[in-house]
Structure 1
Amino acid sequence: MSWEFLLTSFIVVLLPGTGVIYTLAVGLGRGFRASVAAALGCTFGIVPAAVASILGLAALLHTSALMFQVLKYLGVLYLFYMAWSILRENGALDVSDNTAKAGMWRVAVRGTLLNVLNPKLSLFFLAFLPQFITPGAGDAALSLVGLAAAFMLMTFVVFVGYGACASLARDYMIRRPSVLRWFRHAFAGAFGFLGIKLASSE
């Protein structure tokens, strides 16, 4: 595993996307433990995309316009749903102390769905992972699995870091309802923008 792969992966994981925004929102609203559940869900949501790229299914997604469009608009609808959920008083940015296991489970499942319903993630892995395979070096599939596992581990660690930083600001937000309202609208707007951006993708 090359340092080029690790550095490139780190930059990709750091870039704000749906998973980062979701983990930050959960960290601000529910605290550190919930943000770990969000990070775990987002990381687990990478598995279908990684498996698809390794098995070559992402190539079919790339060539089948209908399949891509169906998955894309499911993802768009879910992003809009997340925007609406954040705007609700008891939604993803709820600052109550309710940290029941069922709530944590829902946080993780939502994070998983954010990545599962993003067809661009499979295409990203199809284009990204093969660049770091050495031609003629043993089993390519096994190497791809190792790269995907490293990418997922890095995603989890970085997202937990994002969640920890967000949870530190939670008490500040609880004491300032106007700031909380601003963050609700900002995160909802971010999810809405990502939904529009995904809808316009080809």
Structure 2
Amino acid sequence: MPVSLEILLPFFTASLLLALAPGPDNIFVLTQSALHGRIAGLMVMAGLCTGLIGHSAAVAFGAAVIFQTSATAFSLLKCIGGAYLIWLAIQAFRASGTDVPIHQENRPGLFRLYCRGIIMNVTNPKVAIFFLAFLPQFVSPAGGSVSSQILVLGLLFILATLLVFGSIALTAGTLGQWMNRSERIQKTLNRLAGTVFIGLALMLVRSER
């Protein structure tokens, strides 16, 4: 076993607490679930976790160092992510109350929602740098291959994320179904989502390495 239980248990606990801490990803799951329903939130969550697989692999094989050492790469990626969030905000502000999907057939396609999650995650260089700083802390030289240990830890972090984000998606989606019965609340949810997207975009663009 590449990682011992003495390391896995505290790592998993820390991962759960980090996933629970308010941040761009869980806020994104919450807003998308409230707007489009539980399934939509779960698809966004799946996309975010797919992005985390990429970050885990990047750390394991050293690619994340690029974003830590290259100011140009870091700035370019966060600008792409910020622009995407602004685009989502514009879509939310332009939507009328009746545009909020209440029925399954009217919400954005599941693949599109999945892709939203991936883009949201991979265009945030802070995630790559966080993984680069966090995962190696739990690597043991006695555990064998460092890359294998990091990949195992990355998968365990993703499991913690699935548990927390899945709970957020199910809860927010249930509440959203009830709130979407009112056109006024639908409009408010759209405006709130747009404001959240702008806030996330500003946080991302202003972030430093």
How far off its partner does 1:70 sit? Answer: 0.8
- With 187-196 and 167-176 compared, the bigger mean Cα shift is at 167-176
1:117 offset after TM fit, Å?
Answer: 0.6
Separation in structure 1 between the aligned mates of residue 157 and residue 190 of structure 2, nearest angstrom: 30
Residues 38 and 167 of structure 1: is their aligned pair in 2 closer, same or farther, counting only changes over 3 Å?
Answer: same
- Which of the numbers 44, 49, 53 marks the counterpart of 1:43? 49
Matched, 1:187 2:193: yes
Identity of aligned residues (%): 30
Amino acid at match of 1:129: L
User: Over residues 144-177 of structure 1, what are the superposed CA-to-partner deviations in whole Å (9 max), with x where a residue is unaligned?
Assistant: 1100011112212221111110121123212322
Q: Within 5 A, what are the aligned runs for 1:76-155? A: 76-89=82-95, 94-99=100-105, 103-155=109-161
What amino acid maps onto 2:161 in structure 1?
T
What aligned pairs does 1:142-181 form with structure 2 within 5 A after superposition? 142-181=148-187
4+ residue segments displaced more than 4 Å = none
Given the superposition, is the C-alpha separation of residues 77 and 68 from structure 1 closer, same or farther in structure 2, using an over 3 Å criterion?
same
Q: What are structure 2's unaligned runs of at least 5 residues? A: 1-6
Contact persistence 2:102–2:177 (CA under 8 A): no
For 1:74 and 1:191, the matched residues in 2 are separated by 14
Q: Is the 8 A contact 1:30 1:99 kept in 2?
A: no
Q: Which amino acid aligns with 1:134?
A: S
Which stretch has the larger CA shift, 123-132 or 172-181?
172-181
**Structure 1 counterpart of 2:3:** none
- Give the Cα–Cα distance (whole angstroms) in 2 for the partners of residues 48 and 129 of structure 1: 14
RMSD over aligned CA atoms reads: 2.1
Alignment match of 1:4 (pick from 4, 10, 18): 10
The answer to whether the 8 Å contact 2:43/2:110 transfers is yes
Offset at residue 21 of structure 1 (A) = 2.1
Indicate conservation of the 8 Å contact 2:64/2:132, yes or no: yes
Instruction: Work out the CA distance in 2 between the residues paired with 1:170 and 1:193.
Output: 21
Please give the alpha-carbon distance, in whole angstroms, between the structure 2 residues aligned to 1:102 and 1:82.
Answer: 12
How many residue pairs match? The answer is: 201
CA distance in 2, matches of 1:165, 1:11: 18
* TM-score, structure 2 normalization: 0.87
Structure 2 counterpart of 1:15: 21
Q: Which moved more, 1:40-49 or 1:120-129?
A: 40-49
Q: 1:58 aligns with which of 59, 64, 68?
A: 64
* Cα separation, 2, equivalents of 1:75 and 1:171: 29
**TM-score normalised per structure 1:** 0.90
